[in-house]
């Protein structure tokens, strides 16, 4: 049974206290009756970040936006909004910072003397194809820069809007310069609407895999996060669906609720699934050493305990059944010259 007082189209049901604020206030309920998304242009000095996490496979990432409209209550990036003075709750979904100077900064990065190219993940934090991208097209411009400089890029998104940029992705793929990773935590549309209310439908994501694959663009799928008691019964059906659609590889992570993600998720699950909220929370604790969060490298991705092991074994079976013999290509850095090549015929 679902709580009738849920704010539709939102993961967060309220703002949560910013860890860095000395003073806080509790807004009246009516303050949230109408929630509009606002966009603020920011002016970063750099756009490419070096990834220093030991358990992540990429060297660099870049994020054209800060904050994300998709509304996933469990998003690990929510606490980053607090560094800007905002809340990890509703603010994260409705106060979006836009980096319009990102393409210029990326060109500047590529022209650095002595730079040795490595694939860049876009995005490592918030989704580069969130709804704001329809308006601002920063991700599209960044892809153009990668094509101009023949630099490899990995695109990570949960939005089928990625298909809009096929005209850039195809020539990138022809030079082995791009792969697309789609996040698909569920193919149950009712559950999808609750878990990630402003993303593409499950069917549209599967269709995106088909179209990308038909255009020889390598597709990886992140079945993430797995939340025990919600979508933990779906891995095999998801793996079959994405394999049939043309995905070449997959990965998964278990949900972890670090810092201010925890109160956002707890409020969300209590509102959306009041009959099983405590069961789900206890199952998460069973995978996280009694906690809801986990910051330990390597452990944070896969968890520990019987439930985590059972989920791991399920994916192991799925890999053998649906992905045996499939290989995911390594992107090329050979074509990068550090100088811009005009694509006049394309644009």
Give the model confidence (pLDDT) of 42-94 as tens digits: 999 999 999 987 777 788 999 999 999 999 999 999 999 998 889 988 999 99
Averaged pLDDT for residues 316-333: 97
Q: Is the pLDDT of residue 293 over 50?
A: yes
- Within 8 A by CB and 6+ apart from 11, the residues are 70, 71, 72, 73, 74, 75, 93, 196, 197, 264, 268
3-state secondary structure of 71: coil
Residue 291, phi then psi, degrees to nearest 5? -110, 170
307/160 Cα distance (integer angstroms): 32
pLDDT tier at 298, thresholds 50, 70, 90: confident
Averaged pLDDT for residues 294-315: 93
- Within 8 A by CB and 6+ apart from 112, the residues are none
pLDDT for res 54 = 77
86/104 Cα distance (integer angstroms): 27
The closest alpha carbon to 95, from 122, 62, 136, 65, belongs to: 65
**pLDDT tens profile 259-272:** 999 999 999 999 99
Supply angle C-alpha 6, 7, 13, rounded to 5. Answer: 85
Q: Contact at 8 Å (CB) between 137 and 162?
A: no
178/169 Cα distance (integer angstroms): 7
Lowest mean pLDDT among 27-31, 44-48, 191-195, 235-239: 27-31
113/93 Cα distance (integer angstroms): 38
204/239 Cα distance (integer angstroms): 16
Q: Which domains does the chain have, with CATH numbers?
A: 29-322 (3.20.20.70)
Q: Beta strands of 42-164 (E only): which ranges?
A: 48-50, 60-62, 65-66, 95-98, 120-122, 153-157
List beta partners, residue 154. 121, 179
Q: Is the pLDDT of residue 214 over 50?
A: yes
Percent of the chain whose pLDDT exceeds 70 = 88
Task: Report in angstroms the alpha-carbon separations of 343 from 6, 147, 149, 258, 346.
Answer: 48, 8, 10, 44, 5
């Amino acid at each position: 049974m679902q709580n009738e007082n849920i704010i539709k189209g939102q993961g967060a049901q309220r703002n949560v206290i910013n860890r860095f604020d000395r003073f806080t206030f509790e807004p009246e309920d009516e303050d949230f009756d109408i929630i509009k998304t606002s966009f603020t242009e920011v002016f970063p000095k750099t756009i490419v970040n070096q990834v220093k996490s030991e358990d992540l496979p990429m060297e660099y990432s870049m994020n054209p936006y800060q904050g994300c409209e998709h509304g996933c209550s469990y998003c690990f990036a929510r606490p980053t909004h607090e560094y800007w003075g905002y809340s990890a709750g509703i603010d994260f979904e409705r106060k979006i910072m836009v980096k319009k100077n990102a393409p210029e900064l990326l060109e500047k990065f590529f022209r650095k003397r002595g730079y040795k190219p490595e694939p860049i993940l876009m995005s490592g934090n918030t989704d580069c194809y969130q709804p704001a991208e329809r308006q601002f097209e920063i991700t599209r411009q960044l892809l153009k820069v990668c094509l101009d400089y023949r630099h490899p890029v990995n695109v990570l998104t949960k939005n089928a809007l990625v298909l809009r940029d096929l005209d850039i992705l195809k020539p990138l793929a022809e030079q082995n310069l791009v792969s697309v990773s789609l996040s698909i935590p569920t193919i149950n549309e009712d559950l999808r609407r609750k878990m990630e209310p402003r993303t593409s439908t499950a069917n549209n994501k599967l269709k995106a895999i088909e179209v990308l694959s038909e255009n020889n663009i390598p597709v990886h799928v992140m079945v993430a996060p797995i939340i025990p008691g919600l979508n933990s019964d779906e891995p095999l059906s998801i793996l079959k669906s994405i394999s049939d659609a043309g995905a070449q590889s997959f990965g998964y992570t278990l949900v972890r609720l670090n810092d201010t993600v925890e109160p956002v998720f707890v409020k969300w699950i209590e509102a959306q699934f009041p009959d099983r909220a405590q069961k789900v929370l206890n199952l998460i604790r069973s995978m996280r050493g009694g906690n809801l969060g986990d910051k330990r490298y390597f452990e944070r991705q896969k968890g520990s305990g019987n439930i985590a092991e059972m989920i791991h074994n399920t994916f192991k079976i799925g890999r053998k059944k649906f992905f045996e013999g499939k290989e995911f290509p390594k992107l090329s850095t050979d074509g990068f010259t550090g100088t811009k090549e005009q694509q006049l015929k394309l644009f």
